[in-house]
Amino acid sequence: MTDDSPDHSIDISEEDGVRYLHFGSEWIQGAMRIRRPWALELDYTREMMAGLLLRAAPWPKSALLIGLGAGSLAKFIWRHLPQTKATVVEINPRMPFAARQFFKLPDEDERLQIRIGDGAELIARDRRRYDLILVDGFDHNARVGALDSLPFYQHCRERLSKEGLFATNLFGDRRGFRASVERVREGFAGRALVLPACAGGNSIALAAAGEPLAVPLAELRLRAATVKRETGLDLKPTLSRMQLAAAMPDGVLQL
């Protein structure tokens, strides 16, 4: 594997009780409310967990996270989804130390493993399958490189289990956004939907592999209530946005 480790700085700022991660620029790469370190502070990170509405618990049993950042998603899974074994791939070898020091990322254990490397290269050669793949791999210039390519999306689809779901963070107001969406859709044979952009411009693309999804709206609402009760994560706003993004014939979300 080539050494493509980023050479940008890792910067921390705080404002109004929220700690932010930056990569040598003003772009926010992660955030944690200091009094609620296990909660998903940024709205796009909450939408990345929309799969909890689409598959019934106890799901997922395994997760692959490409991009660690402040560790928000890894922390949420470790804290609130005890059935899930998560593997995180992070290209910057300094990032896990910063996430532990400033963002309360837990130490590695039997349910959380962190690997240093290129996520696109790993997914191309990996042969394991995962119930959930989450991709959030922007650099300091808000670029994702190979993590937004058709081969990458195709490899991710191949690595999903029969109940596999995929989510990736895109910038809805970035040039090339529509091309990114088309690559996701092509990579997943059309089984994808894209949520409207969040306030910060992030837009989450969701995709599925394996068993077809057909979930009645009433069941989605019930799952949202269960997730809120068990984890504190409010996915009702996400569900409303999913209704805008997905066709629901007869009140059933199909993917």
160 C-beta neighbours (distance < 10 Å), count: 21
Q: What is the pLDDT of residues 151-190, one digit of tens each?
A: 999 999 999 999 999 999 997 667 788 999 999 999 999 9
For residue 2, the model assigns a pLDDT of 38
Per cent of the chain over pLDDT 90 is 80
How confident is the prediction for the chain on average, in pLDDT? 92
Give the pLDDT band (50/70/90) at residue 33: very high
- In order of start, what are the domains of the chain with their CATH numbers? 45-246 (3.40.50.150)
Q: What is the pLDDT of residues 120-144, one digit of tens each?
A: 999 999 889 999 999 997 654 556 7
Residue for token digits 């940024």? 42
Q: Is the pLDDT of residue 219 over 90?
A: yes
**What pTM does this model have?**
0.94
Could you say which of 136, 173, 234, 250 is catalytic?
A: 136
For residue 137, the model assigns a pLDDT of 77
Phi and psi for 106 in degrees, rounded to 5? Answer: -70, 160
For residue 171, the model assigns a pLDDT of 79
Active site includes 136?
yes
Q: Do residues 146 and 124 make contact, with C-beta atoms less than 8 angstroms apart?
A: no
